[in-house]
């Protein structure tokens, strides 16, 4: 299915700007997941195609939430240099010789072009989901947040995992697909991965939208 057809289908199934889907309809927070240099530096093995455009879309969401004085969470994935907090993150296919996202490395820093709102809150995580092993849920509850808007990297790992867990923790979830990015797989392009993730999440976990529709 082409991206155009997918978007058309999602618009038919899930009205993108209907009740409960805008920033002002209920207490809402923006989760910016792993907008880090490991994904935006062209020399990185995990570089995501057109990451500059993805960051541009993320920044548009950050600007809108800042203007409305709504909560923004900047989330990064970081591991201890000794690997003591890795769990199964890198050895799911067998013993891992080395790993990414080491504390203190340049690749774990925020993307150079990411707009870091002064009032943004920060979270460091060690698993795909931003809820696992962090106080994100407690902080959202304290702010009385009911809906989370998800953007960042990678579409099919940390963004998708966070969206699914947010749903299971009884948050409404909005997933801004074009404000997420991921490296291509041997058998799938970034656009194809976005389409698949949007289809699966849109079937029962999240409202699927784009920046223009969400920011109306």
Instruction: Name the helix (H) or strand (E) containing 214.
Output: helix 211-214
Instruction: Indicate whether 15 pLDDT > 70.
Output: no
Q: Which positions ≥6 away from 66 have C-beta within 8 Å?
A: 72, 117, 119
| Mean pLDDT of all residues belonging to the chain | 90
pLDDT band at 93 (very low <50, low <70, confident <90, very high): confident
Instruction: Indicate whether 81 pLDDT > 80.
Output: yes
Residue that the structure tokens 């809108």 belong to? 64
Segment 66-92 mean pLDDT? 95
Instruction: Indicate whether 14 pLDDT > 90.
Output: no
Distance CA 4, CA 6 (A): 5
pLDDT of residue 94: 80
pLDDT band at 19 (very low <50, low <70, confident <90, very high): very low
* pLDDT tens digits, one per residue of 115-153: 999 999 999 999 999 999 999 999 999 999 999 999 999
pLDDT of residue 111: 98
pTM: 0.90
Distance CA 135, CA 41 (A): 29
Which domains are assigned to the chain? 3-214 (3.40.50.850)
Please, are residues 151 and 197 in contact by the beta-carbon 8 Å criterion? no
Segment 45-74 mean pLDDT? 97
Phi and psi at residue 30, to the nearest 5°: -100, 125
- Dihedral, CA of residue 66, residue 69, residue 73 and residue 74, to nearest 10: 20
Phi and psi at residue 7, to the nearest 5°: -60, -45
* pLDDT tens digits, one per residue of 164-181: 999 999 999 999 999 999
Please give the C-alpha separations between residue 40 and each of 26, 33, 125, 139, in angstroms, as whole numbers.
Answer: 32, 13, 19, 28
Q: Which of 20-29, 76-85, 201-210 has the weakest average pLDDT?
A: 20-29
Distance CA 16, CA 86 (A): 37
Nearest to 110 by CA among 77, 70, 155: 77
Segment 60-70 mean pLDDT? 97
């Amino acid at each position: 299915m082409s991206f155009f057809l997918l978007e058309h289908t999602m618009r038919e199934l899930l009205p993108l700007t209907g009740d409960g889907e805008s920033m002002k309809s209920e207490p809402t927070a923006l989760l910016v997941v792993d907008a880090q240099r490991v994904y935006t530096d062209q020399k990185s093995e995990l570089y995501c195609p057109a990451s500059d455009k993805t960051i541009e879309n993320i920044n548009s969401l950050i600007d809108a939430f800042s203007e409305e004085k709504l909560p923004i969470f900047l989330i990064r994935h970081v591991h201890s240099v000794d690997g003591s907090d890795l769990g199964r993150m890198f050895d799911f296919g067998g013993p891992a010789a080395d790993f990414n996202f080491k504390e203190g490395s340049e690749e774990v820093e925020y993307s150079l072009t990411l707009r870091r709102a002064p009032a943004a809150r920060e979270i460091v995580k060690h698993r795909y989901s931003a809820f696992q092993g962090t106080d994100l849920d407690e902080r959202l509850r304290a702010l009385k947040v009911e809906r989370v808007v998800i953007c960042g990297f990678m579409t099919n790992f940390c963004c998708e995992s966070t969206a699914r867990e947010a749903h299971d923790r009884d948050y409404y979830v909005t997933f801004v697909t074009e404000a997420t990015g991921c490296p291509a797989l041997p058998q799938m392009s970034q656009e194809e991965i976005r389409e698949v993730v949007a289809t699966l999440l849109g079937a029962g976990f999240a409202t699927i939208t784009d920046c223009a529709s969400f920011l109306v």
